[in-house]
Structure 1
């Protein structure tokens, strides 16, 4: 009887002691993955601005004028509206932007875009309220040297500030931020 009890106890203990072997299940990657760009005067300097955005893909679609309609407010990306954080005072179109977080919206047209800096933050999609606009700037829509499959943003350092470049498909715009003297 003792060997049977020992065997049962042994089997019971080993059943609970062996970790369950399961594979990890992760959700599929977001179709428009999040990215960020940092504006720095030089490689080792602290940032002066940052943009966080989601990068939708072209996937053979006609982008501007169709997927992103002309003349309508766009969140300038996918998922959450694009977020701009300013770390030191900057000017845009003569308007002083204090350090803080803002949302970037755009109104694309064939020849120009209206870029909107708005104080409403943490917004999904285009939850836009014009009363929260801090500044607007109209900037020419330019033709890119090569098409861009994913929406892309990058800061280009300037002598007295930085320029945010926003590009997708065959189009890009430049948004010039100036340092405050």
Structure 2
């Protein structure tokens, strides 16, 4: 009988505690990660970013203005880790961690790898003197609207394309193993 009372008390306490939890302040732009591995399953590159949603908003040219530097996602600036030397559109990129910024425009984006990492957004944190590389990528029209900002690696011969897309636009950046 005593054990039954303890058991009922424990169930009551557990359910009342759970119902009292408030998750309303949960992050509206959750963090995500995409990773590409080599044939031997060792990591080649990883991207950590946050995924804001469209929520019936006009994104490019409005929420994300054309011609201005963007953290490429939400919250903390997007971070790329490259595990061995690579090339991106002919530019040599040493293994290491970088912040990935972009400057979206209607027909072309500038993609920036910056040596200053662990930064929040762009205001007062972006330092152009720490840019490792700036490359251009054509802006392409997505086959269907992309509700949440998304990134994914697509394997290609000797590397991977990093796809970045949101709303009706995406770009692709080829990461190739250094020869």
TM bracket (short chain): 0.7 to 0.9
How far does residue 162 in structure 1 lie from its aligned partner after superposition? 1.0
How far does residue 96 in structure 1 lie from its aligned partner after superposition? 1.8
1:128 to 105, 126, 137: 126
The runs of 5 or more residues in structure 1 that have no matched partner are 1-17
How far does residue 93 in structure 1 lie from its aligned partner after superposition? 2.8
1:1-181 to structure 2, matched below 5 A, reads 21=13, 23-24=17-18, 25=21, 27=23, 28-42=25-39, 45-126=41-122, 127-181=125-179
* Contact 1:41–1:158 (8 Å) recurs in 2: no
Q: Which runs of 4+ in 1 moved over 4 A?
A: none
* Contact 1:41–1:47 (8 Å) recurs in 2: yes
For 2:111 and 2:36, how far apart are their aligned partners in 1? Answer: 18
How far does residue 117 in structure 1 lie from its aligned partner after superposition? 0.4
Deviations 1:134-162 (A, max 9, x none): 01110100000001000000001110111
- If the length of structure 1 is used for normalisation, what is the TM-score? 0.85
* Contact 1:93–1:136 (8 Å) recurs in 2: no
For 2:120 and 2:98, how far apart are their aligned partners in 1? Answer: 14
For 1:168 and 1:158, how far apart are their aligned partners in 2? Answer: 22
CA RMSD of aligned residues (A): 1.6
For 2:111 and 2:32, how far apart are their aligned partners in 1? Answer: 19
Q: Equivalent residue for 2:5? A: none
The structure with the largest alpha-carbon Rg is 1
Q: Secondary structure at the match of 2:17?
A: coil
Q: How many residues align?
A: 163
Q: Secondary structure at the match of 1:32?
A: coil
For 2:138 and 2:178, how far apart are their aligned partners in 1? Answer: 24
Q: Secondary structure at the match of 2:129?
A: helix
For 1:56 and 1:64, how far apart are their aligned partners in 2? Answer: 13
